[in-house]
Amino acid sequence: MSVLFGLLWPLERFNTVVLAIGKVIAVIALAIMVTLILGQVFFRYILSDAPNWTEEGARFGMLWMTGLMAPLAFRMGGFVSIDMLERALPRLISGLLTLLLLGIALWVLVVAWDRGLNNHVDTLSGRGCSSSLKWPFGFEFGKCGDKFQNNFQYASLWVGVNLMILVNLELIIRQIIKLMGRGDELKPLSAEDFQGAD
């Protein structure tokens, strides 16, 4: 049992810190996305001349917001779920069902990790250059020069899957500890863990 707590403690601390930082970055990405969309509307309907890079920039912000907030929502139980069966079952069977579902989720995440890396980040489209989104101040970076490389956008979801795998492993360890009757020793996962990121 002490081995499980030994595995859980660093993973729990790592997830808490990284997800709090991710929350701050996601809020900034959301603010950028909203600003660019409102700017697009203003330029298109008021000035009748919208810059073409605002749409791609808003998509960039949306992808990073999603990739960084999904692991936090998963950890905090924020995903939509149907738990009627789980609640109707006896505690032990319900706990085993939860563990089985977390195992299935881990398998899906590992498949998503591979597909995300090989089908998006490290592919011809991922290695391509943005059509309109450029680095600010004429800065040039990598083979695309002053344009963003597409894998900077695609990497957001792959980073999110990596973080979700870590969260899933934490939840599996927590569930095993609960099944062994030591759940009262676990620190509850709550919004207080992330107050520093507000």
pLDDT at residue 103 above 70?
A: yes
Q: How many residues does the chain have?
A: 198
pLDDT at residue 157 above 70?
A: yes
Lowest mean pLDDT among 14-23, 108-117, 135-144: 135-144
Higher-scoring residue by pLDDT: 27, 151: 27
Q: Which two tokens stand for residue 121?
A: 């980040």
pLDDT at residue 197 above 50?
A: no
Distance in angstroms (rounded) separating the CA atoms of residues 165 and 157: 12
* Residue range 20-49: mean pLDDT, rounded: 90
* Residue range 79-104: mean pLDDT, rounded: 82
The whole-number pLDDT of residue 189 equals: 76
Q: Percent of the chain at pLDDT above 90?
A: 28
* Residue range 64-84: mean pLDDT, rounded: 84
Q: Give alpha helix (H) positions in the chain.
A: 2-45, 53-75, 84-88, 91-116, 151-179
Distance in angstroms (rounded) separating the CA atoms of residues 181 and 135: 54
Distance in angstroms (rounded) separating the CA atoms of residues 35 and 32: 5
DSSP state of 189: P
Lowest mean pLDDT among 25-29, 120-124, 158-162: 120-124
Distance in angstroms (rounded) separating the CA atoms of residues 23 and 66: 10
